Structure 1
Amino acid sequence: MRCPLLYRFRVIDRLPERPSAAATRGTVVHAVLERVFDAPAGERDARRARAMVVAEWEKLLAARPELAGLFEDDPADTTDPAPSTGPAPDGADAPSAGSRDAAGRARLAEWLAGAEELVERWFSLEDPSRLEPAEREVFVETRLESGLRVRGVIDRVDVAPTGEIRVVDYKTGRAPRPEYSGEALFQMRFYALVLWRLRGVIPKRLQLVYLGSGEVRWHDPVEEELLAVERKLTALWEAIRQATETGDWRPRRGPLCSWCDHRERCPEFGGTPPPYPLLVQPTLPGADAAPTDTRTPTDTAGTGRPGEAGD
C-alpha cells in the first residue's frame, strides 16, 4: 500500500478521480495487444495493429464519454501565458470555441500517435506471429491458506509444449531503474502465486514488456519467494482490517503525491479528509481490536491496472 489514506479514499470513500491521458492510453494499448491475436498468425503485423488504435479508442470513448474531456480546453481558463502589453484587438482577448476545438483535436491526434508508436514498438520486442497465447486478459482468483481471497487480471499467459508457464505483463511506461523495480516485480510474483495456488504449478518465467523504453525484463520465480509474497499479503490485509476498524488511515508522502487527485483532502498538504463513513469503536490500550462494523471495503487483496501511471 503506497499510501494508506489514498487506499481509504479509493476503496472506502470511493471518491471520484479524474481520468488521466497516460492511464487511458494504457487501456487502449492493452486492448490492441490483446486483440492482435484474434487474427491469423500471418496477419499479425504492425500496420494492422496501428490501425486498431483508433477503433479501440472509439470503443472506449463510447463506453466512457467523459474521457473526451482529456483533450478539451477548459473554457473558463482564459489566463494569458504572458503579461499583457496593451489592449488586445477585438476578438483576440480569449481563444474562440473553434480554436479550442482545433487545439483539442490536435492533442487527440498527438495522443493517438503516441499510442500507435507504443503498439509498433512491441513488434520490435516480440513476434506475435510466432506466439499463440494460452490465455489473454485472464481473470484469476483464489483463496490463500489464511482465508484471504486474492484476484487479478493477467495480460497474457503462454504455455510451452512442455507445460511450462510464462506470465507476461505489458507496461506502457519506461522501465524503472533496478532500485525502483520492486513494485513491478511484486505484482508479477503476485500473479505467479495466484496461478500456483490455482493450478499447482509455479510459472517458469515472469516477463515484463516495457513499451515506453523498448525493454523486456524477466524473472524466474522460486517457491520460497512466492511464500514470502503470501506472508506479505496476509500481513498487509491484517493492517487493512485494523485500519478499517479504527479509521486510522495515515497519509504517506511520496514522489507520486504531485499527481494525486486528493491533495486538497490530505493532511500532508494542509487538507482535511471527509468524515469516516464506517462505524468506529475505540479499543482499550493493550486490547485486541475487534470488528465494529461488518461493512469492510472488501475481503479481497488484488492487483490490476491501478492508474497505469507507468502502465
Structure 2
Amino acid sequence: MDSSIEDAGALAPETGVAAEAEPVAVVAPGGAPAAEAEASGVVTGAPGVVTGAPGVVTGASGPGADGGVAVRPPAAPTSLSPSRAGDFMQCPLLYRFRVIDRLPEKPSEAATRGTLVHAVLERLFDAPAVERTAPRAKSLIPGQWDRLRENRPEIGELFADDPDGERLARWLGEAERLVERWFTLEDPARLEPAERELFVEAELDSGLRLRGIIDRVDVAPTGEVRIVDYKTGKAPRPEYAEGALFQMKFYALVVWRLKNVVPRRLQLVYLGSGDVLTYDPVPADLERVERKLLALWEAIRQATETGEWRPRPTKLCGWCDHRAHCPEFGGTPPPYPLPVRAPGSLPVEQGRMGPD
C-alpha cells in the first residue's frame, strides 16, 4: 500500500473519511457499545445521529423509566447492518429472533471481552502519541471494565458464580494479552485516526438503508481512506477469508455511496492470532456486494411479509441462545408479532418495509 497511508504519522486530523467539509457522521461520545448500537440501529446516548445521506436523521433511543434503554416494540426491519446481514445468511430464524422478536440473549465472555478490548483501543487514542504504549493501554482495562458493567448491568451475570474472582482474573488477563498483541501489529504512536467507532448510514437508490459502526478510519493527506476493524478472535483459514471480508466490503460500500470515495484499503486486525488481513477494493467489488445485499434484503422483505422464517441448522446451533424456541430442537417460536400479508395482496414498497 502507498506509504502515505502506511506511515500513519502523516494522516489527516479528524475530518471524516474524505477531505470534504461535511463529516460522514456526527455522533456524541459516550454511546452504546458498538455491537449493541449496530444491533439496534441507533447510537444510544447521542441526542441524534446526522449522517452524510441527505435528509436522513436518526434519533437515538431514550432512557426508559428504570434508567435503562427503552425497549422498542416489534416492527418490520428498515435497515441492514453487517451483523444482521450475517445473521440472515446464517439462519433466517435467528434473524427474526434478534431483529423482530428481540429475544434476550445472555452475554458471553468472548463477546464481552471483545467489547472491552475495542473500548481500550479506542480510548488509547485520547492520549498524546508518545504516551500510546502497551502499559498505558493495559492500565485502561480496569476503568473500561467498570464502565462497561455500569452501562450494561447484565454483564455482571458472567462472573456471578466466581466468588473468589479467579475466573475474572484469567479473563482480564486474556484481555491484557490481546491488547499487548496489538502493539506487535500496529504502532499507535504513528496513527492519528480520522474517526473511531464511527456510525455510518447510507440509503441506496433502491431505498435500502445500510448502517454500521466502523472501528477506525485512517485518512491520508492525499484523501486515501483505510478502514480498519479489530477482531479479538483468530484469523480464518484462507478458504474462509472472503466471508471475513464481507463486513469490510459492506462498510466500503457505505463510504463509497456516502462520499463517492472507494476506500484504498480494508484491514482486519486479528488480535487472537496476530494476523493482519488486507484487501484493496475496486468499484466492481462493491457493486457485487450491493447486488448481493439487495437480493438479501428482498429475501428479508418476503420473510417479513409472509412470516416464514426458516431455520438453517449448522454446527453453530450449539452456541445459539434460542434453541428453546427453535423447531429444530423441539421448540416453538413465539407468536409472530407482525401482520402477515394475505396471499395475492400487493407487497409494500421494496426497501421500505415499515415506518422509520
- Length-normalised TM-score, structure 1: 0.82
Match of 1:154 in 2: 214
1:237 aligned counterpart, secondary structure: helix
Shift of 1:281: 3.3
2:232 corresponds to which of 149, 155, 172 = 172
CA distance in 2, matches of 1:127, 1:14: 40
Structure 2 unpaired stretches of 5+: 1-87
**2:108 maps to amino acid:** S
1:271 aligned counterpart, secondary structure: coil
Match of 2:335 in 1: 275
1:222-279 per-residue CA deviation (whole Å, 9 max, x = no partner) reads 1101001111111111111110000000001112110000111111112111111111
CA distance in 2, matches of 1:40, 1:49: 12
Q: Is residue 163 of structure 2 the alignment partner of residue 101 of structure 1?
A: yes
Q: Is residue 114 of structure 2 the alignment partner of residue 26 of structure 1?
A: yes
2:125 aligned counterpart, secondary structure: helix
CA distance in 2, matches of 1:142, 1:65: 32
1:243 corresponds to which of 303, 324, 333 = 303
Match of 1:35 in 2: 123
CA distance in 2, matches of 1:298, 1:230: 23
1:28 aligned counterpart, secondary structure: helix
- Length-normalised TM-score, structure 2: 0.72
Shift of 1:289: 5.3
Match of 2:192 in 1: 132
1:277 aligned counterpart, secondary structure: coil
Shift of 1:183: 2.5
CA distance in 2, matches of 1:163, 1:261: 44
Shift of 1:182: 2.5
1:230 aligned counterpart, secondary structure: helix
CA distance in 2, matches of 1:257, 1:170: 25
2:146 corresponds to which of 47, 58, 71 = 58
Check whether the contact 1:242–1:289 (CA below 8 A) recurs between aligned residues: no
Q: Flag the 1:48–1:298 CA change in 2: closer, same or farther, 3 A.
A: farther
Greater Rg by CA = 1
Match of 1:71 in 2: 159
1:29 aligned counterpart, secondary structure: helix
**1:69 maps to amino acid:** E
The list of structure 1 runs, each at least 4 consecutive aligned residues, that deviate by more than 6 angstroms after superposition, is none
Match of 2:4 in 1: none
Check whether the contact 1:243–1:249 (CA below 8 A) recurs between aligned residues: yes
1:136-170 per-residue CA deviation (whole Å, 9 max, x = no partner) reads 11111111121111111000000112211100000
CA distance in 2, matches of 1:182, 1:6: 22
Structure 1 unpaired stretches of 5+: 74-99, 300-311
Match of 1:76 in 2: none
Q: How many residues were matched structurally?
A: 266
1:101 aligned counterpart, secondary structure: coil
